[in-house]
Amino acid sequence: MTQFIDIAALAEIPRQGARVVKTTAGCVAVFRTADDQVFALDDRCPHKGGPLSEGIVHGTAVTCPLHAAVFDLTTGQGTDEWQVKTHNVRVEAGRVLLDAAFLARRSAA
């Protein structure tokens, strides 16, 4: 059974913005779109290491603040050859829940 961690109220994440979840396994950026969809990606651009949480959210994409590559929030695929790891996230009763499985996977590596 999948375990989820309650990370924030949906209202705490700005529309077309992000919140960073810092863990011992790394940082995850949780994005909220203008229409309240929520997505989670690793918070590090694979090209120059830019914090994607500081990028511009537009539609279901985010633009890296360092080199303007665009990443699809649904798949993590970039406009170039780069790809960012996605994480399962959902909203229940106004709370944002992040899949805890990535913690176990990263800890075992």
Q: Is 21 exposed, middle or buried (0-12, 13-18, 19+ CB in 10 A)?
A: buried
CATH (domain of 50): 2.102.10.10
Q: Which of 17, 18, 23 is nearest to 5 (CA)?
A: 23
pLDDT given for residue 109 in this prediction: 39
Q: Hey, what amino acid is at 17?
A: G
* Whole-prediction pTM: 0.90
The predicted-structure confidence for 77-86, as pLDDT tens digits, reads as follows: 998 889 999 9
> 99 pLDDT band (50/70/90 cuts)?
very high
Name the more confident of 104 and 96.
Answer: 96
Contact 107, 60 (CB under 8 A): no
Number of compact structural domains in the chain:
1
In this predicted structure, the answer to whether residue 104 has a pLDDT above a threshold of 90 is no
| pLDDT per residue as tens digits for the range 19-43 | 999 977 789 999 999 999 999 999 9
Q: Residue 89: which domain range?
A: 4-108
